[in-house]
């Protein structure tokens, strides 16, 4: 039995979409962003660099395509945040400062799945170090469960970075030692790929990732990047699409899930 059998709102496989929309999207790009997301027909969306000025507009556009359950980091004016939206309810887990705008986690009981949406800052320093520590603590504590790390990590392993200097290889390596796997590399060994390009287009790398725990990586059906949106300069990042064939026999009881949108709320995650 797949999740589509349990809840018709979610077809199977379940499609996750992750995208850094570049400084909140802005009013001029918002219609293009909304159209691009809708065209990929996602079931769960994680967006980074969401801003207060456009967050409500984004949430409304996502609700129009059935993603009526949402939560975000509620960033202060001028600050980038993270948003998660889905077709089914989820429990939000928040992170304390200084990473409260960099990470947002969700527990999908109906999918028996944990999701952490991440936007790790690119510049070396304490904020990046704190973001990696919090992300790794969360992932390690849930390594034996279905757990998905999704978003802009501003990091890559061998062959992922081209004329681009970023650390993070050690942090990615820790995830590997706990059984997590890069879902794109699992199916595309050695294939060059760019999810972000420098403004002059002379460098870039695959810095947007879908990294899954061992039990979840086994059910990945498809992982790919859509570059059309980046090439059209709707954002400087490509869209990451992940299809997972997930089913739950433990957590979901048909008819018991709330149908009210999830907005805000949740608890702080402190390992």
Question: 3-class secondary structure for 62-80?
Answer: HHHCCCCEEEECCCCCCCC
Q: What is the pLDDT of residue 74?
A: 95
- pLDDT of residue 4 exceeding 90: no
What percentage of the chain carries pLDDT values higher than 70? Answer: 87
- Residue 19: the pLDDT is 98
Q: Pick the residue with more confidence: 157 or 255?
A: 157
Task: Give me the percent of the chain exceeding a pLDDT of 90.
Answer: 72
pLDDT for the residue numbered 24: 94
Please give the pLDDT value at position 248.
55
Mean pLDDT computed over 126-135 = 96
pLDDT of 266 > 50? The answer is: yes
Highest mean pLDDT among 122-126, 129-133, 188-192: 129-133
Q: Is the pLDDT of residue 268 over 70?
A: no
- Residue 269 pLDDT: 54
Residue with tokens 């969700």: 106
Asked if pLDDT for residue 169 goes beyond 80, the answer is yes
Complete edge-to-edge strand list for the sheet that includes strand 161-162: 161-162, 204-205, 196-197
> Long-range contacts made by residues 221-229, C-beta under 8 angstroms, separation at least 24?
221/13, 221/245, 222/13, 223/183, 223/184, 223/186, 223/187, 223/188, 224/184, 225/184, 225/193, 225/195, 226/40, 227/194, 228/36, 229/19, 229/32, 229/36
Q: What are the tokens at 171?
A: 């942090």
pLDDT (tens digit per residue) in 91-102: 999 999 999 999
Q: Taking each helix axis as running N to C, give the angle between helix 26-39 and helix 52-64, from 0 to 180 degrees, rounded to the nearest 10.
A: 30
**Per-residue pLDDT tens over the stretch 59-74:** 999 999 999 999 999 9
Question: Lowest-pLDDT range, 61-70, 86-95, 176-185, 190-199?
Answer: 190-199
pTM of this prediction? 0.88
Under the banding of pLDDT at 50, 70 and 90, the label for residue 191 is confident
Compare 12 and 200 and report the one with higher pLDDT.
200
């Amino acid at each position: 039995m797949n999740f589509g059998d349990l809840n018709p709102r979610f077809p199977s496989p379940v499609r996750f979409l992750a995208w850094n929309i570049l400084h909140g999207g802005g009013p001029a790009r918002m219609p293009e962003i909304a159209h691009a997301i809708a065209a990929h027909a996602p079931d769960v969306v994680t967006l980074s660099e969401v801003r207060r000025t456009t967050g409500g507009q984004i949430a409304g556009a996502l609700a129009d395509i059935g993603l009526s359950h949402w939560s975000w980091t509620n960033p202060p004016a001028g600050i980038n945040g993270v948003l998660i939206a889905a077709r089914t309810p989820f429990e939000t887990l928040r992170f304390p400062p200084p990473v409260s705008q960099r990470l947002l986690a969700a527990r999908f009981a109906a999918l028996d799945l944990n999701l952490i949406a991440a936007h790790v800052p690119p510049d070396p320093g304490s904020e990046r170090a704190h973001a990696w520590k919090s992300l790794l603590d969360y992932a390690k504590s849930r390594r034996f469960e279905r757990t998905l790390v999704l978003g802009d990590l501003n990091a890559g392993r061998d062959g992922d970075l081209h004329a681009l200097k970023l650390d993070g290889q050690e942090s990615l390596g820790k995830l590997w030692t706990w059984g997590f796997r890069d879902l794109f590399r699992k199916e595309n060994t050695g294939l060059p790929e760019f999810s972000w390009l420098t403004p002059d287009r002379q460098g870039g790398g695959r810095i947007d990732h879908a990294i899954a725990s061992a039990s979840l990586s086994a059910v990945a059906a498809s992982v790919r990047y859509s570059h059309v949106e980046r090439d059209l300069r709707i954002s400087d990042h490509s869209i990451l699409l992940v299809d997972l064939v997930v089913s739950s026999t433990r957590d979901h009881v048909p008819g018991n899930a709330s149908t009210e949108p999830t907005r805000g709320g949740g608890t702080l995650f402190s390992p």
